[in-house]
Amino acid sequence: QVQLVQSGSELKKPGASVKVSCKASGYTFTSYAMNWVRQAPGQGLEWMGWINTNTGNPTYAQGFTGRFVFSLDTSVSTAYLQISSLKAEDTAVYYCARETLGDFDYWGQGTLVTVSS
């Protein structure tokens, strides 16, 4: 069965970096785009962008350029989200989600990133 398993919660200080992983199984990793979605505490869903799992080409939504980097390791069917120069407002749950023709049919369980001094 299709599964997306994300890495565990992270507690980071402002200015640090974090790398969240999303390991896919149960399907051909390169057949579907991988998206990232942020959910701040008590807030709604915010699309961050996506990565083409064939070419590795990322596309970032407005507001997620510069400090956010999507990457892949196709040999282990894993997508990554790296955030640098962390700020308190980056505190959120980050989800990876498999995209099928514009909608997200499978989601990771979410990774809580907390930024606090």
Partner 1 sequence: EIVLTQSPGTLSLSPGERATLSCRASQSVSSSYLAWYQQKPGQAPRLLIYGASSRATGIPDRFSGSGSGTDFTLTISRLEPEDFAVYYCQQYGSSPQITFGQGTRLEIK
Chain residues binding partner 1 by CB under 8 A are 35, 37, 44-47, 50, 59, 61-62, 95, 97, 100-105, 107-110
Q: Which is nearer to partner 1, 2 or 76 (CB)?
A: 2
81 contacts 13 by C-beta, under 8 angstroms: no
**Which residue number, 8 or 117, has a Cβ lying nearer to partner 1?**
8
Smallest distance from partner 1 to CB 25, Å: 16
Local structure of residue 74 (DSSP, 8 states): G
Nearer to partner 1 (CB atom), residue 1 or residue 117: 1
Which residues is 18 bridged to in the sheet? Answer: 83
Q: In angstroms, give the least distance from the CB of 37 to partner 1.
A: 8
In the bound state with partner 1, the residue whose beta carbon lies nearer, of 35 and 77, is 35
How near is the Cβ of 97 to partner 1 at its closest, in Å?
A: 8
